[in-house]
Structure 1
């Protein structure tokens, strides 16, 4: 089971690490898009979200308080879904459908991250291949 969970952690973290690199290397372009969505302080928001994604993903990948890493991703994903993918305000059907897909993807990933947080908090040190145990404890 340890190896399967490690493979799952690698696959899950890869998405967020890639996104974090994009946020930190293409900040100006992403800040322009964030500004068009009326995000306050768009450049700072893009940089902060890149750091949160990177830190959360690395914590899950390396198994350093992975429950906290998963929680960081939840705290990134839910506001991102609401602020960046407001399908209810899209001007036409195609844009509405695209935004709804992205909204639902972010919400689904938030659900997966929340389950991952609960999983790590429940098993704590019983699951190998992590550098630390969980920060939280759920019995």
Structure 2
């Protein structure tokens, strides 16, 4: 189990990651037609599936991160999603304009860094301040209560 300070830091990390994805999901919803057009412009296949899936993953993933629900598997999904977004959406190697090349390079490596944060979150888990921890404590508590009720007293 992590120390209290560690759990607070993990909570802050979850919130920091969640804000980025919640904001992105809300922006996708607000400009959904533009988002779909962008996905078409980068040649993404199955845009009719990818656009709502991406939007839902941003919003639901962000909410799950904040409350700390299913964080370890979610972190792996979000790491893969973030790397895929880096490769498909920030392909700096195809950009000739020096300013755009620099911008896309920064965004690409930012996404790789975020994926690294998700991988760390996968290892650490959600911390004490989370639904995951509360659910684990309930499972242990109910097992203990059950054992206690079968003992002769």
Q: Shorter-chain TM-score category?
A: 0.7 to 0.9
Which sections of structure 1, spanning at least 5 residues, go unmatched? 134-139
TM-score (norm 2): 0.76
For 2:68, the equivalent position in structure 1 comes to: 63
Q: Aligned Cα RMSD in Å?
A: 1.6
* Higher-helix-fraction structure: 2
- The match for 1:39 among 35, 44, 47 is 44
Runs of 4+ aligned structure 1 residues displaced above 4 Å come to none
For 2:8, the equivalent position in structure 1 comes to: 3
TM-score (norm 1): 0.83
**Residues 52 and 72, structure 1, Cα contact 8 Å, conserved in 2:** no
Which sections of structure 2, spanning at least 5 residues, go unmatched? 134-153
Deviation track 1:6-36 (CA, whole Å, cap 9, x = no partner) reads 2332222111111111223321101111111
Q: Which has the higher contact order (CA 8 A, sep 6+)?
A: 2
- Bigger radius of gyration, 1 or 2? 2
**Residues 20 and 53, structure 1, Cα contact 8 Å, conserved in 2:** yes
Instruction: Give me the whole-angstrom Cα distance separating, in 2, the residues matched to 1:16 and 1:98.
Output: 20
